[in-house]
Amino acid sequence: MTQSVLDIHEVTPEIVQVTMQDRAHKNTFSRQLVDGLLQAFAAISTNQRYKCVVLTGYDGYFASGGTQESLLAIYEGREKFTDTSLYSLALDCQIPVIAAMQGHAIGGGFVMGLFADFVILGRECVYTTNFMKYGFTPGMGATFIVPQKLGLSLAEELLLNAGNYRGAELEKRGIPFTVLPKAEVLNHALDLAQQLAEKPRHSLCILKDHLVAPLRDQLARVIEQEVAMHEKTFHHQEVKQRISTLFGK
């Protein structure tokens, strides 16, 4: 486990908090952070005491999506976002996952959080599916989970326009998530986790499996479609230029 970029903390014997804290990369999906998340959720899956995962970030960042280097690697054909199962960690997890998005969530970082069973946003924080800003179509399951969680009309706006939205604005647009001042997001998530922890673990697992089964069944097909769209949209010189000049702005 790469402790420097990821903190695993047992809040109680039944609740585990996973904190992404790659400060050097502002919680973009660096190799260290990706490996840490994969290892953390693998370990969580073997612990029969856990009933809930709280996934959160540090300070003003929840998760910031792909690194500039990884995006350029996809452009060059050396990588695909499907090289790891990062995008579906929360969906695949047996127990409920709460995404406490106390900071900005950008691109694949926002999408990863939307795969959680519970989503809590910060009013002051920026949320964006900014794939098209760089000229390539969305990946990470975004074309599937964003409409599922936010509704088709708002999802089309977020995905096609690739704009930045504060949590307060999304709250006004009627998103079905709790939106709080960012300083209150994690505590609310922990309160919710405690409520979940009062339930029997086997019942939580069985009910989650039932509720998310349609999502799991459809996701693989959508991922294939997103990869096919990447083959058509990612390998253009304009995309390379946009990644090189616009990344982080």
Rounded to two decimals, what is the model's pTM? 0.96
68-75 and 237-246 helices cross at what angle (nearest 10)?
170
Write down how long the chain is: 249
> Cβ neighbours of residue 244 under 8 Å, at least 6 residues apart?
68, 72
Cα–Cα distances in angstroms (integers) from residue 180 to residues 57, 102, 189, 220, in the given order:
16, 9, 11, 33
State the fold for domain 6-182. 2-enoyl-CoA Hydratase; Chain A, domain 1 (3.90.226)
Q: Is the dihedral of CA 48, 53, 58, 59 positive or negative?
A: negative
Q: Return the number of other C-beta atoms located less than 10 Å from residue 198's C-beta.
A: 8
Q: Where are the beta strands (DSSP E) in the chain?
A: 6-12, 15-20, 52-56, 61-63, 97-101, 104-106, 118-122, 126-128, 165-166, 178-180
Q: Which two structure tokens, joined as six digits, stand for 38?
A: 């994969």
Residues identified as active-site:
230
Q: Provide the pLDDT confidence category of residue 1 given band limits of 50, 70 and 90.
A: very low
pLDDT at 3: 53
Q: Domain boundaries in the chain?
A: 6-182
Mean pLDDT of the region 198-204: 98
Do residues 22 and 28 touch, judged by C-beta distance below 8 A? Answer: yes
Q: What is the pLDDT of residues 76-91, one digit of tens each?
A: 999 999 999 999 999 9
Mean pLDDT of the region 64-87: 95
What percentage of the chain reaches a pLDDT higher than 90? 98
Query: What distance in Å separates the CA atoms of residue 216 and residue 137, rounded to the nearest whole number?
Result: 21
Query: What distance in Å separates the CA atoms of residue 36 and residue 5, rounded to the nearest whole number?
Result: 8
Burial class (CB in 10 A: 0-12, 13-18, 19+), 221: exposed
- What angle (nearest 5°) sits at the alpha carbon of residue 19, between those of residues 15 and 23? 170
Q: What is the pLDDT of residues 172-189, one digit of tens each?
A: 999 999 999 999 999 999
Q: What is the pLDDT of residues 205-239, one digit of tens each?
A: 999 999 999 999 999 999 999 999 999 999 999 99
Q: Return the number of other C-beta atoms located less than 10 Å from residue 154's C-beta.
A: 17
Mean pLDDT of the region 122-150: 98
Secondary structure (H, E, C), 94-120: CCCEEEEECCEEECHHHHHHHCCCEEE
Position 24 pLDDT exceeds 80: yes
